[in-house]
Chain A
Amino acid sequence: MEDSNSYIRVSGFVLGSLMFQHLNSDSDVEGLILGETKAEERSNITDSQIDNIQFEHTINIQKHISCRKLNSFYNRIGEVNQDEIRHILSNYKEENVIGWYKQRRNTDQQITFREQVVHENLKRALSNHELIFLLLTPSEITTSGSTHKLEYAVFRSHGSQYCSVPVLVSNLGLLEEQDYWRLSASCSSVNYNHAVRKHRSKFFSSDGSLHEVDEINDMNNSLQGELKIACKKVEESERLVEKLLADVSDLRRMVNDRKQELGEISADGASTPAQPQENVLLCEVIKTLFPGASLLQTQALNFQGFPLPEFCCSTDHGIDIATTLPLILSHTLPKARKGRLGRGGGTSWRKRPLRESSEVPKRRKGMLEETEESLSVSGSETEEDLIPANQNGNDLDVSNSPVF
């Protein structure tokens, strides 16, 4: 499938200079337009079709030459005078003429009878079937004359019909261009071309390609290689994660099955509605580690978040902490361990402020000697010693933050 698109490209300063030159003229004006034409064929391959060919025909307007008076290069019936055209062009070549323009004040944006005749004759005279006609029509918008508008359009003939061609004005910031330019901007300046030719060999090789292109290609290849290695590693780790996730799922399924079995067994004889399960292990541990701390043993909090001592669990769950959770007792202080194993000692611990430090160093030293291998200092411990609360008989001095 083939598509054909035609565009007119003109830089902002070329169009602006043309408009500025003629906007204040006291009559209709006309002139010739110079530039060049480029045709490009692009082949896009998409998922749906493999041969989508687009022809882009771009006409670049580079310069304008105004005529000193109307009807200077044609007569009353639109016949073109080629000598007069050459005179107007002076040093420029006829091949550079890509069209002509006219500014008509207060008229419609429509090509006139004579303009059509002149256009056809000019096409024949210049042997250019792609000749364009730029029409500018300034007009007043308000009756007070405070606001004027200048409309412009480019026309090209297809047989007897004239259709408008889209105009792209290239300003400093080319807002509509999203891709890289595939062709360099055209410029007819002699000095520009001279400067480029002088330094060209530093950038381009003999075949016209840039020197750095090969180097960049090599770097690109290296990057591709590294990318491949990284991708391989990612793939391997992803597979490992997948396997682990599968294992976890299996274990969870097994746990759920076991729970269901236990639940079925207990449901056979139970007639009471389901109650929240008590964490009996936690309950026994707290009782062991903090025998007198009722605040720690409670299972209920009030609306302000304070524990309610009257909801402590008083049930003996018959769990031997030393055998069930030996690590809990191994991490406690030796004195504390001895107190716990006695069960019912009711000894609870609290921190003693530093002002009682006269007794602390000895006790601490003793404690440290016994537990230096197994004791680990936690971040929540402070310089204050841990002393049994019943030593001063004041439970209110116990810290509100439980420390395990």
Chain B
Amino acid sequence: MNSMSPEVALNRISPELRPLLCSVVRNGRVGLDSTNCLRVTDLKTGCTSLTPGPCCDRFKLHIPYAGETLKWDIIFNARDPELPPDFIFGEDAEFLPEPSELPHLVQWDAGDPECLLQLVKELIQQYHQYQCQRLRESSRLLFEYDSLLEDPNYSRSMEIYAGHKNSWTGEFSARFLLKLPVDFSNIPVYLLKDTTLDPGEDVALLSVSFEDAEATQVFPKLYLSPSIEHALGGSSALHIPAFPSGGCLIDYVPQVCQLLTNKVQYVIQGYHKRREYIAAFLSHFGMGVVEYDAEGFTKLTLLLMWKDFCFLVHVDLPLYFPRDQPTLTFQSVYHFTNSGQLYSQVQKSYPYSPRWDGNEMAKRAKAYFKSFIPQFQEGAFATGKL
């Protein structure tokens, strides 16, 4: 399969068809998994080999759907660009949509750049109906689908792929892909290292694979968009429970949903708590604040003096603050270690309670500084060198 960049595809396509393909490769996001645009491969021509290019008018379109990738052939005619395209639906030879229920096919407008993309979306909808119909081969899986359909939270955000029945074992498998109705809008703005990349819509998808029709082998998996994954602490931060034996989706999906919601709430609260903490330290230490993280409120540096002894205090707030205690790093401004670094001591255990508010934490921290500094100073003079 010759995967090609959108620009290469657009350069090779026939000029009359270029606007249609442009909207597909640049803006084409269909289905629940819309993190990536639709992909085009195997660009070919219906003209003779002696026809000078660019004259390609048929290609394969890769469409993500329910964790699978559909590979549909789209066939135009470069000599008749006003004609609507034809389709070959890959391995789904039995999928035959109703053409009269495809408005953008009935009213095909070759001059509308969005026409092809809209037609593809309408075909996906009919393809979804076709897959749901195929669930009738298993009463168990049909029950799962019907029960989810009744819940308005999931009925409109569900993609189903019913695998082909294994002619050898007689086993029938299916995959459900659900978009979880979790509100991520209050999660702090996430700054990507590469700002040119569009992180896309914040979405959480739950994929549940039924390897057999009787639901004895069920494998769930949670997919998060990059910003959400980063905000929650990476891919290993969130572990969803295993699908219970004899359980059903209508019970399991809300459970996962709640777990994710709790996690998001915790992260949001942590952000607010951190902000409150920083604000209280700013209030208490005023001019002593050297710098702080104004985005994520994860760091704070203070320059303090005690009996003509100046020192720095670096405060690192963890992701799950206030559950996890902030780390205090005391650093002398005079003394160096043998390795040439400023002499410092890290304190992770000090009087702390997650139930204190920011103001109380600032006061308690101040009191701790006063009690610890003499000891730190001694250590600096004894161990460090000027």
Contact = CB atoms under 8 A, between A and B. Distances in A.
Interface of A: 24-28, 69-71, 76-78, 104-108, 110, 112-117, 140, 145, 148, 160-162
Given A27-B78, A77-B102, A140-B49, 13 more contacts: A26-B47, A69-B80, A76-B99, A76-B105, A76-B106, A104-B46, A104-B75, A105-B45, A107-B88, A108-B88, A112-B87, A115-B86, A162-B93
Nearest to B96: A116
B88 A110 contact: yes
A105 B47 contact: yes
Given A106-B58, A116-B96, A77 B86 contact: no
Interface in B69-107: 73, 75, 77-80, 83-84, 86-89, 93-94, 96-97, 99-100, 102, 105-106
B87 A27 contact: no
Contacts of A113: 86-89, 96-97, 99
A28 B73 CA distance: 15
A5 B108 CA distance: 42
A297 B20 CA distance: 116
B1 to A, nearest CB: 14
A148 B48 CA distance: 11
B363 interface: no
B44 interface: yes
Which interface residue of A24, A108, A148 has the most chain B CB atoms within 10 A? A108
Given A113-B87, A113-B89, A140-B49, A107 B73 contact: yes
Given A26-B48, A27-B46, A104-B75, A76 B80 contact: no
B88 A112 contact: yes
Contacts of A145: 49
Contacts of B83: 70-71, 76
Contacts of B75: 28, 104, 107, 112
Nearest to A140: B49
Nearest to A110: B88
Nearest to B107: A76
A24 B48 contact: yes
A78 B51 CA distance: 29
A163 to B, nearest CB: 11
Contacts of B77: 27-28, 70
Contacts of A110: 88, 93
B51 A77 contact: no
Contacts of B80: 27, 69-71
Contacts of A25: 48
13 contacts: A24-B48, A25-B48, A26-B48, A27-B47, A27-B77, A27-B80, A28-B46, A105-B46, A105-B47, A106-B46, A112-B73, A113-B96, A160-B96
Contacts of A160: 94, 96
B87 to A, nearest CB: 4
B99 to A, nearest CB: 4
B86 to A, nearest CB: 4
A161 B87 contact: no
A106 B48 CA distance: 10
B273 to A, nearest CB: 57
Which interface residue of B49, B93, B94 has the most chain A CB atoms within 10 A? B49
Consensus secondary structure, chain A interface: loop
A161 B93 CA distance: 8
Interface in B291-311: none
A155 to B, nearest CB: 11
Nearest to B51: A26
Contacts of B48: 24-26, 105
B385 to A, nearest CB: 72
Nearest to B44: A106
B86 A114 contact: yes
Given A107-B73, A107-B75, A76 B47 contact: no
Interface in B197-223: none
Nearest to A69: B80
A112 B100 contact: no
A113 B49 CA distance: 26
A78 B47 contact: no
Contacts of B100: 77
Which interface residue of A24, A69, A105, A116 has the most chain B CB atoms within 10 A? A105
Which interface residue of A78, A106, A113 has the most chain B CB atoms within 10 A? A113
Nearest to A120: B96
A113 B119 CA distance: 13
Nearest to A146: B49
Contacts of B87: 112-114
Nearest to B102: A77
Contacts of B51: 26
Contacts of A27: 46-47, 77-80
Contacts of B86: 112-115
A348 to B, nearest CB: 97
A326 to B, nearest CB: 94
Contacts of B89: 113
**4 nearest interchain CB pairs?**
A77-B99, A106-B44, A27-B79, A113-B87
Interface in B331-375: none
Contacts of B58: 106-107
Contacts of B45: 105-106
Nearest to B93: A110
A161 B79 contact: no
A347 B43 CA distance: 113
A162 B51 CA distance: 33
A110 B71 CA distance: 14
A104 B45 CA distance: 10
Contacts of A71: 80, 83
Which interface residue of A27, A78, A115, A148 has the most chain B CB atoms within 10 A? A27
A136 B5 CA distance: 31
Contacts of B49: 140, 145, 148
Nearest to B55: A26
B176 to A, nearest CB: 26
Nearest to A77: B99
A24 B87 CA distance: 24
B127 to A, nearest CB: 11
B50 to A, nearest CB: 9
A114 B87 CA distance: 7
Nearest to B84: A76
A34 B105 CA distance: 31
B38 to A, nearest CB: 18
Contacts of B93: 110, 161-162
Nearest to B101: A77
B91 to A, nearest CB: 10
Nearest to A159: B94
Contacts of B47: 26-27, 105
A160 B78 CA distance: 30
A27 B80 CA distance: 8
